[in-house]
Structure 1
Amino acid sequence: MQTVSSATDPAATADAAVTSDPIADATFTTPVTAEIPAHQFETPYADALRSLAGHDWQRLHVPGHQASAANAPGVAGLVGEAALSIDFPMLFSGVDQETWRLVTPGRITPLMRAQELAAEAWGASRTWFITNGASGGNHVATTVVRALGTELVVQRSVHSSVIDGITHVGLTPHFVTGHVDTGLGSAHGVTAEQVETVLAAHPASAAVYIVSPSYFGAVADIAAIAQVAHAHDVPLIVDESWGSHFGLHPRLPVNAARLGADLIVSSTHKAVGSLTQSAMIQLGSGPHAAALEPLVDRVVRSHQSTSCSALLLASLDEARKNIVTRPELVEEALATAEEIRRRVRADRRFRDATPDILASPDAVTNDPFKIAIDTRGAGITGSDAHYQLLRDHRVYAELSTPSALLLLVGAVSPVDVDRFWDALQALPEAAIEPERPIVLPAPCERAMGLGEAFYSPVEVVPYEEAVGRISADSLAAYPPGVPNVLPGEILSAEVVAFLRATGAAPSGYVRGAADPALATFRVVA
């Protein structure tokens, strides 16, 4: 395997000038170690866009701004003139389509090459770039399952997009209920033993669908769960949205593609740093992966927009290169995350909740870039801390519960620790410890099938009248987006009260609600 020596002459690694060939051999701009393959320094798709932008085009095609900042000053002010110049449409010959295969058999386009490099980096057998987020990736994955059968074993605390996908394609879910930390107010994952129990009870299931890591960073035993799924001759699908950085550095957990999963959804923007709404779908190393490939490819094409953003695709290419070839950034980010934890552990008011996460029965390790801070002894709720950090200090945390504050450190983005710590220490302390009702509502009773309820006639009723009625919606307190009630389930008083309290919180939002204030609910007529 070719590598670039750390002794490479910097002058020889300067950026190449724009050429007429969009897939000209790449050059390298960063000194590298012998361990990093030279081709991982390539960004073939991003470079192809830059090459195209270097020509004097008369643009008579979409998008309507046609790369003119003068014609679209507001848009240019948002993203910059350079972004407009590389905002090319799909179907550009030789950039994202396979037209050159007709002339030069075996030659691949820059987009195809960029996806190959990503597959190599994550240890996947194949990777697809997608521009409708991991939510779109979950829709792809559930559609793939429908081609295999009509039932599946699925973690109850999946993202609401998985439930949407299950509903749309008419699957029957058999739920595995994961661990819930009622102290922190967080949902974690499932164990191999739990998956075995549900699979054995529902042998017609066509796949197993789980989430790892959890929003709070608990990492499930993917290898053991994969063994269970494969022993039942079904594929394992993993929503690894919160672990897109896994497997890319020795100090990070191993990723699902390398641990036996067959299909993986990866939300690359969350930790690796591509643009928001960019994501990847990966085929893993499981025994069902190869057989799934043609089906996944067809489903991706049917779900992906025919006008997908070149900017989003290019950001995936650049983000992959950045994290793979700059391990020192990951080290620096890890150091800042650990420094925050060290200060929390030594603090009088706040507590590092990492031991709580590792104590979860499903957790074999944790994501070091998720920092859970227990506020139960701090004289302030996690929700109030979240709001006051935002309002008074312009410090924007990822998530809060009544008892915890959750921080996300980007895998390539070291943090200004002092700024955060000064803001945290400035939070007021109440004389009396505030009450913390940290009880997540129990699942609701099912009365109808998901699809039957979703496609039924509906009516909107006041929240008082919604209790005891059948929900037409999937409603999820967001973040983390885990559905609290599903279509076809009977709305309980507990769930209605929980969702209304979430919607009333300063940072609260309930995905799927017809009314943001949750004064009304949409129910089956």
Structure 2
Amino acid sequence: MDQSSSPVLEALAEYHRRGYVNFCPPGHKQGLGVDEEVRRVLGADVFRSDLLATGVLDDRTSGGRVLERAQELMADAVGADHAFFSTCGSSLSVKSAMMAVAAPGESMLIGRDAHKSVIAGLTLTGIRPVWVRPRWDGELHLAHPPSPEAFEQAFDEHPAAVGALVTSPSPYGTCSDLEAIAEICHRRGKPLVVDEAWGAHLPFHDELPTWAMDAGADVCVVSIHKMGAGFEQGSVFHLQGDLIDPVRLEQSADLLSTTSPNVLLFAAMDGWRRQMALRGEELLAAALQLADSTRREIDGLPGLEVLDDRLVAKEASHDLDRLQIMIDTLAAGISGYQASDWLRAERSINVGLSDHRRIVAQFTFADDPLSADQLVTALADLTRTALPTPKSVVLPDPGELELEQVTTPREAFFADQETVPARDAVGRIAAEQVTPYPPGIPAIVPGERITAGVVDYLRSGIEATMVVPDAADPAVRTIRVVRSDRGTDLP
């Protein structure tokens, strides 16, 4: 296909050329009615291109096939059979993929390092999770993606599972052996769904980790806004093969999606696809080179260690996206939370992820030597700054963080509930998810039995400035649990 074409952008240009007058939503009428302060801060062009997708950008019958052609070009650019755009983020896309694979009550193998959106999908659908545990690195205090052998064993123990879901890359940039996991699934005639939200750029350069479609996945979900050049909430899910019905996938997305998609998001995704198809290899090569030189400079700073080869050693991750620079601050006597806060407050630099001993600096093709130098200089200044001794985060034995799934997330979420002090929640069944964010991987999932170890981890983490935004009590002084004395088969 002609990858220099951009159907959504071309339709927008034609809309502006025709000078339409609209007696339909949106009510701001392309910015004419917007408050002056709103227009000054956001810019007039944002509103000028905020249109109805059907009936304005395209005609009421979608006769121009604007969005359809843009999706076909996206699929062609990355070698998928189908591509579907979503303006509700990969959180919607991954739920749609789950619904296309499993029916309520059916079981699905899911890596326990899944994003909270997967847990939301389980709660909405009633799918029964069979958790596949990540590999715990006791030295780095980091969870590596689950191994193919773990998926093989899980299928052997749960042969009725209808498919598998893997998260790769992780928010840390670590990657699963997708090719091996896909082979395990397909040998059994089961589909593999990959939550590849952090991997939209992977198809466009050979030095990046293997893209899920090339590894044999049946569906992969990517967030264009994370490592690409789209607006927040822009997502694409790709499909190949015949193990998942494309009609069911599209209808699943339609059940969850908005009926008022934002054309701005479509346009940005369409334009980014064209940019990558025409210049992606060149742009990503430059980004990889810049990230590599920056990594070496940071690794030379006192007290800081850039983690790369150690992450892909034996029994660790299969691969690593080297545009994600993971920086261990432990030897500097600084927590990742402190480093993140200091960089923002003192140097106006934001990093995407921080934990008790690390930060992750995300590079893309939009970075340049100036921004890289700002980061290195700021980190050098950080190592010379006297900060208070960080509060310790209790890291119990990994077994205490691998909670027993007593009932499904859906059953627990809709069960009769009560709120109890966190200490009294030990041994009880959680009725809510509790998620340190970022990276957004729940420490507690509805239906899991709460342990003392996970309570200690969360409470000490919050004391160390961990953020837990989705808990009913973000300070986790209390936790919502299933009321266990109400006529159910729950313990």
CA distance in structure 2 between the aligned counterparts of 1:334 and 1:346, rounded to whole angstroms: 19
Which moves more between the two structures, 194-203 or 425-434? 425-434
Q: Deviations over 1:353-380 (max 9, x none)?
A: 1122112635232101110112222232
User: In the alignment, what sits opposite 2:252?
Assistant: 299
**CA contact under 8 A between 1:239 and 1:264: conserved in structure 2?**
yes
User: In the alignment, what sits opposite 1:488?
Assistant: 447
User: In the alignment, what sits opposite 2:474?
Assistant: 516
C-alpha change, 1:431 and 1:497, in structure 2 (3 Å) is closer
CA distance in structure 1 between the aligned counterparts of 2:223 and 2:464, rounded to whole angstroms: 27
**CA contact under 8 A between 2:95 and 2:121: conserved in structure 1?**
yes
Matched, 1:425 2:380: yes
User: In the alignment, what sits opposite 2:25?
Assistant: 62
Q: Secondary structure of 1:187's match? A: strand
CA distance in structure 1 between the aligned counterparts of 2:143 and 2:473, rounded to whole angstroms: 25
Matched, 1:330 2:293: no
> 1:464 pairs with 401, 412, 423, which one?
423
Q: Deviations over 1:370-415 (max 9, x none)?
A: 1011222223222211111111111111112222221111244335
CA distance in structure 1 between the aligned counterparts of 2:186 and 2:367, rounded to whole angstroms: 37
User: In the alignment, what sits opposite 1:41?
Assistant: 4
Q: Deviations over 1:312-336 (max 9, x none)?
A: 1111111212233223322222222
Matched, 1:130 2:86: yes
Matched, 1:178 2:141: no
Deviation, 1:58, is: 2.3
CA distance in structure 2 between the aligned counterparts of 1:43 and 1:314, rounded to whole angstroms: 8
Deviation, 1:196, is: 0.7
Deviation, 1:98, is: 5.1
Correspondence 1:247-396 to 2 at 5 A:
247-284=203-240, 286-288=241-243, 291-327=244-280, 328-359=282-313, 361=315, 363-396=317-350
Deviation, 1:60, is: 1.3
C-alpha change, 1:512 and 1:220, in structure 2 (3 Å) is same
Q: Secondary structure of 2:290's match? A: helix
**CA contact under 8 A between 2:338 and 2:390: conserved in structure 1?**
no
CA distance in structure 2 between the aligned counterparts of 1:305 and 1:395, rounded to whole angstroms: 34
Correspondence 1:430-441 to 2 at 5 A:
437=393, 439=395
Deviation beyond 6 Å, 4+ runs, structure 1: 431-435
Q: Secondary structure of 2:204's match? A: coil
Deviation, 1:86, is: 1.2
User: In the alignment, what sits opposite 1:109?
Assistant: 65
Which moves more between the two structures, 200-209 or 374-383? 374-383
CA distance in structure 1 between the aligned counterparts of 2:264 and 2:316, rounded to whole angstroms: 38
Deviation, 1:254, is: 2.4
CA distance in structure 1 between the aligned counterparts of 2:17 and 2:467, rounded to whole angstroms: 44
**CA contact under 8 A between 2:104 and 2:126: conserved in structure 1?**
no
Q: Secondary structure of 1:265's match? A: strand
What root-mean-square deviation, in Å, do the aligned CA atoms of Structure 1 and Structure 2 show? 2.3
CA distance in structure 1 between the aligned counterparts of 2:283 and 2:299, rounded to whole angstroms: 24
C-alpha change, 1:341 and 1:436, in structure 2 (3 Å) is farther
**CA contact under 8 A between 1:399 and 1:405: conserved in structure 2?**
yes
Letter in 1 for 2:340: H
Letter in 1 for 2:275: N
CA distance in structure 2 between the aligned counterparts of 1:412 and 1:246, rounded to whole angstroms: 16
Letter in 2 for 1:502: G
**CA contact under 8 A between 1:341 and 1:371: conserved in structure 2?**
yes
Q: Which runs of 5+ in 2 are unaligned?
A: 484-491
C-alpha change, 1:178 and 1:46, in structure 2 (3 Å) is same
C-alpha change, 1:182 and 1:79, in structure 2 (3 Å) is farther
Q: Secondary structure of 2:401's match? A: coil
Deviation, 1:340, is: 1.3
**CA contact under 8 A between 1:386 and 1:400: conserved in structure 2?**
yes
Percentage identity across paired residues of the two chains: 32
C-alpha change, 1:457 and 1:366, in structure 2 (3 Å) is same
User: In the alignment, what sits opposite 1:453?
Assistant: 412
C-alpha change, 1:302 and 1:465, in structure 2 (3 Å) is same
Letter in 2 for 1:43: S
CA distance in structure 1 between the aligned counterparts of 2:122 and 2:421, rounded to whole angstroms: 28
Letter in 2 for 1:321: R
Q: Please, what TM-score do these two structures have when normalized by structure 2?
A: 0.91
Deviation, 1:504, is: 4.3
**CA contact under 8 A between 2:308 and 2:326: conserved in structure 1?**
yes
Letter in 1 for 2:259: T
**CA contact under 8 A between 2:101 and 2:191: conserved in structure 1?**
no
Q: Secondary structure of 1:344's match? A: helix
Deviation, 1:517, is: 2.1
Correspondence 1:21-32 to 2 at 5 A:
none
Matched, 1:71 2:34: yes
Q: Please, what TM-score do these two structures have when normalized by structure 1?
A: 0.85
Which moves more between the two structures, 292-301 or 144-153? 144-153
**Count of residues paired in the alignment:** 477
Which moves more between the two structures, 356-365 or 400-409? 356-365
Deviation, 1:451, is: 1.8
**CA contact under 8 A between 1:179 and 1:187: conserved in structure 2?**
yes
Q: Which runs of 5+ in 1 are unaligned?
A: 2-38, 101-107
CA distance in structure 2 between the aligned counterparts of 1:510 and 1:481, rounded to whole angstroms: 9
Matched, 1:497 2:465: no
Deviation, 1:493, is: 2.2
Q: Deviations over 1:190-228 (max 9, x none)?
A: 222111110011110100111111121112111111110
Deviation, 1:438, is: 6.7
